[in-house]
Amino acid sequence: MLNRQLRQIDTSYFYRVIWKRFRSNRFAICGAMVVITLFILSFLAPYVTPYSPDDLDAYHVLLPPSSAHWLGTDELGRDVLTRIIYGARISLKVGFVSVGIAAAIGTVAGLFAGYYGGWIDQLLMRFVDIMLCFPTFFLMLAVIAMLEPSIWYIMIIIGLTGWMGVARLIRAEVLTLRERDFVLAARSIGASDTRIIFLHILPNAISPVIVTATLGVAGAILTESALSFLGIGVQPPVPSWGNMLTSGKDYLEFAWWLSLFPGLAILITVIAYNLVGEGLRDALDPRTQI
């Protein structure tokens, strides 16, 4: 009972220290505010805007930004702000699901490679090296071109081609942890390898995964936008920042807002996630001074 209370106190203190370090980084706080705002807008989209992303209005085509349509309308009379807000749902979904897949695969592979070593480590790391030899974006283009364009295919493919960095990070952490005293103590009392890996080593090696996953969300959003821009990602009429850029490029000379505002949405979102990731990296680094 006393040990459990002491563990809870240590955990609470640890999280307070991390929060204190994180909030001292103004850029990270600004990035977190942008991310939180995106979440709120995407979940409350039907209540934030009076329009639907698929509402067509032939009498208000290619209108510039105004009080009625803050970011203007597109070539079909649809409200650009509404479509950007609904497009945030797609971007956030792709980012979190694909990074979740990559983090799960990379974490398991890195844990087993680092803990067991030997032929298991060699086999897994050589497979990682092989995967890293492929040009990831062109591999995704080839796979998606053979399949029917779908948001689920995009998320799965991004996840299956983005786990190698996580595996290397986790493996490096496990190599430094597997000979620590708390691991040796767990072995001495007969704890199984599975228990040691997932209950003792993983909690102490998860920090770089959190940082990498946060930065990976930004990369996944960029990848989805690029695929949608090329026409093999999210398909119209579903709003996506990438396919909004595609439709806006044909009207760039006289309807600049069709490309500018989706591009700014991608830029701001990616920068915000990068700032949060950098802030988490500094906060979780034990060498950082409070």
Among 26-35, 103-112, 182-191, the range scoring the smallest mean pLDDT is 182-191
In a 10 Å sphere around its CB, with 0-12 CB exposed, 13-18 middle and 19+ buried, how is residue 133 labelled? Answer: exposed
Q: Please tell me which of 8-17, 247-256, 278-287 the model is most confident about, judged by mean pLDDT.
A: 247-256
Contact in structure between 265 and 221 (CB atoms under 8 Å): no
Pick the residue with more confidence: 237 or 7?
237
State the Cα–Cα distance between residues 107 and 103, nearest whole angstrom: 6
Question: What Cα–Cα distance (Å) separates residue 4 from each residue in 14, 192, 241?
Answer: 15, 21, 48
Question: Taking the mean position of all CA atoms in its chain, how far away is CA 173?
Answer: 22
Long-range contacts of 146-150 (CB under 8 A, 24+ apart): 149/231, 149/232, 149/233, 149/234, 149/235
Question: Whose structure tokens read 């700032």?
Answer: 275
Structure tokens at 51: 């329009």
Q: How far apart are CA 30 and CA 276, in angstroms?
A: 8
What is d(CA 286, CA 139) in angstroms, rounded to the nearest whole number?
38
Report the candidate in 188, 265, 181 with the shortest Cα–Cα distance to residue 221: 265
Question: Model pTM?
Answer: 0.84
Q: What is the pLDDT of residues 150-171, one digit of tens each?
A: 788 888 888 888 889 899 989 9
Q: Could you give the domains of the chain?
A: 2-284 (1.10.3720.10)
> 56 — alpha (psi -120 to 50), left (phi > 0) or beta?
beta
Contact 74, 62 (CB under 8 A): yes
Rounded to an integer, what distance in angstroms lies between the CA atom of residue 235 and that of residue 154?
12
For 36-71, the pLDDT digits (tens) are: 999 999 888 888 888 888 888 888 888 888 888 899
pLDDT in tens, 63-111: 888 888 899 888 888 999 999 999 888 888 888 899 999 999 999 999 9
Distance of CA 29 to the CA centre of its chain: 18
- For the chain, percent helix, then strand, then coil, each to nearest 5? 75, 0, 25
Spatial separation of the C-alpha atoms in residues 260 and 263, rounded to whole Å: 5
CA 68, 72, 77, 80 dihedral sign is: negative
Q: CA angle, corner 175, sides to 172 and 179, nearest 5?
A: 155
